[in-house]
Structure 1
Amino acid sequence: MVAFSLTFPATAWGLDGFGPWTLVSVRSVLAALVAGGALLALRVPVPGRRHWGGLAVVGVGVVLGFPMLTTLALQSSTTAHAAVVVGLLPLTTAVLSAVRTGHRPSRAFWAAALAGAAVVIAFTVQQSGGALSGADLYLFGALLVCAAGYTEGGRLARVMPGWQVIGWALVMCLPVAAPAAAVALAVEPVHLTGKAVAGLLWVAVGSQFLGLVVWYRGMAEIGVARASQLQLAQPLLTLVWSVLLLGEVLPVAAPVAAVAVLVCIAVTQRVRA
């Protein structure tokens, strides 16, 4: 959760020196090389074919989709705004998990879920001047693909170590990420600065690999529901980092909306069983 809370500020740093397509593709390549090296060194066997579909969902959602959509959003959105919108991620994951597993949450769960969604939509519309912006659409799309990746990753982490789930997902995406990185580096300008390099390294190794290693392992040990409760503090932590690392000035609505979403998600976790 701490690793993920730094993702948006690190992405903002990375965008100071890299184009969006370069940042996302290179981070995926670097993370895949780290993961592939670990899998190779430990001689981990290739997963059975029955797991490939789930790993592909993790790859599309967590490795490619979420980083790309949030990076595009952060070109015109502040990290504080993005943190509040993506604060709905635990709730979205809970909903998709319920659909995927066939569980039937209570009416109280759905009431809290709808309330949390309403808070986020009201916040985004208010901050965007009465209508959803392009950045907001990117962020809502990122919510859906990442929630799908989390749901499938949590399911797979029950049958294989969590680090192998994200490791194989990264390796599966390498044939797409590597050519994309080559093209992006040739097309988009690169200005190497200390912040840009630090941001790239963090989103590649910290957010894309190490953070997900710990995350999937935690979900496997304590379950998706309990793990998602730990993520409730992520938006608030990101707001803190946005002030300390980026010098952003928070609108009053940002922390208020973040706390409101936190309360709604907490209710869903208490009543979903």
Structure 2
Amino acid sequence: MTITSQAPQPGTTPTGDSAAQRRGLWLGALGVLIFAMTLPMTRLAVGGIDAPQLPPLFVTAGRAAGAGVLSLLWLWLTHAPRPQRHHLVRLLASALGTVVGFPLFLSLALREVPAMHAAVVTGILPLATAAMAAVALRQRASIGFWVCAVAGCALVLAFAAWEGAGSLSRADGWLLLAVLSASAGYVAGASLSATWKAEHVICWVLVLSMPLTVPVAWLAWPVQPASAAAWGGFAYVTVFSMWLGFFAWYRGLALGGTLRVSQVQLVQPFLALLLAVPVLGEPLSGRTLAFSLVVMAVVVVGKRMPVQPVNGKQS
């Protein structure tokens, strides 16, 4: 999955330190690689329509419940401060977007379309997150930014329609809902990470979601046997996509600098395409590759367009 930029945390190494920058870039690259594996691993976990594996609802709730248990242990070991009442709305918004919405809609979509298809459509997520932030935080985005946002959306819709012989499929609707859910959740989490350690934010989001995710995972437990590969994919998205990937990514942003390290995430859709070949055996067509590269280019241009908060300082 793609994660929006976070502010450096208090007490971390200054970004002017070249050694810290290099370490931050490596950690950021590791986080991007972990998240790029989310699409093929989720497809492996849920299977296709012709060979279904784990139920999408179980994958959604189970991975969050498992990561919640790990988060409880981490919060206890690090003596993390408890959230206050005024934090709960943003924690809930982040949970609904990143713990429930994104993985559920992604799992439903990947039952019906290849991971490569999903990688192209969700490649617009960084730009969608920036657009969501501009609206939610009442920032003044330039005309160029909104042109790129519209162009990116049009590109993924055109790709989806082309792949669907002229019409959008139900899976494309799930993917677009996944993008909207994730972008809303990331903006809510980002506002909390400005004052909290980002690792504590994701851990509290997961822990506070456990009253929902644990019983749902129990009720949705698969009644049909699934392959070892499907359980392996589920284990990956639980431990890495839902938990450790956030640690590497956020720490990389803090050490290497947000502007520098966040650019690494632009290659995530391309990595997801490449990883789907060895993990799932999906063929990489020239059309899919071309659309992915064009979407990446639009996202790169869009993220360079000025977006200013209401006080006039460029972000």
1:135 aligns with 2:179: no
Displacement of 1:230: 2.2
Report the Cα distance in structure 2 between the residues aligned to 1:91 and 1:111, rounded to whole angstroms: 11
> Residue type of the partner of 2:45?
G
Aligned with 1:212: secondary structure?
Answer: helix
1:171 aligns with 2:171: no
> Residue type of the partner of 2:282?
E
Displacement of 1:72: 0.4
| Runs of 4+ with deviation above 4 angstroms | 217-221, 225-228
Report the Cα distance in structure 1 between the residues aligned to 2:139 and 2:121, rounded to whole angstroms: 26
The runs of 5 or more residues in structure 1 that have no matched partner are: none
Deviations 1:109-161 (A, max 9, x none): 11111111111110011111111111000000000010011111122111000
Deviations 1:43-72 (A, max 9, x none): 212111111111111111111110000000
Report the Cα distance in structure 2 between the residues aligned to 1:201 and 1:7, rounded to whole angstroms: 11
- Match of 2:41? 10
> Residue type of the partner of 1:10?
M
Report the Cα distance in structure 2 between the residues aligned to 1:97 and 1:142, rounded to whole angstroms: 16
Report the Cα distance in structure 2 between the residues aligned to 1:88 and 1:205, rounded to whole angstroms: 25
Deviations 1:65-94 (A, max 9, x none): 100000000001100000000001001001
Query: Would the alpha carbon gap of residues 215 and 155 (structure 1) be closer, same or farther in structure 2, given more than 3 Å must change?
Result: farther
- Match of 2:246? 212
> Residue type of the partner of 2:194?
R
Report which of the two has the higher share of helix.
Answer: 1
Deviations 1:208-253 (A, max 9, x none): 0111233344556644x66553221011000001111111012322
Q: How does 1:65-214 map to 2 (within 5 A)?
A: 65-185=101-221, 188-214=222-248
> Residue type of the partner of 2:39?
F
The runs of 5 or more residues in structure 2 that have no matched partner are: 1-31, 48-52, 308-315
Displacement of 1:190: 3.9
Aligned with 1:88: secondary structure?
Answer: helix
Aligned with 2:187: secondary structure?
Answer: helix
1:26 aligns with 2:62: yes
Give the structure-1-normalised TM-score.
Answer: 0.94
What is the RMSD of the two structures over their aligned residues, measured on CA atoms? 1.6
Structure 1 contact 79–239 (Cα < 8 Å) conserved: yes
Report the Cα distance in structure 2 between the residues aligned to 1:229 and 1:261, rounded to whole angstroms: 15
Identity of aligned residues (%): 36
Report the Cα distance in structure 1 between the residues aligned to 2:306 and 2:238, rounded to whole angstroms: 34
Q: How does 1:29-48 map to 2 (within 5 A)?
A: 29-48=65-84
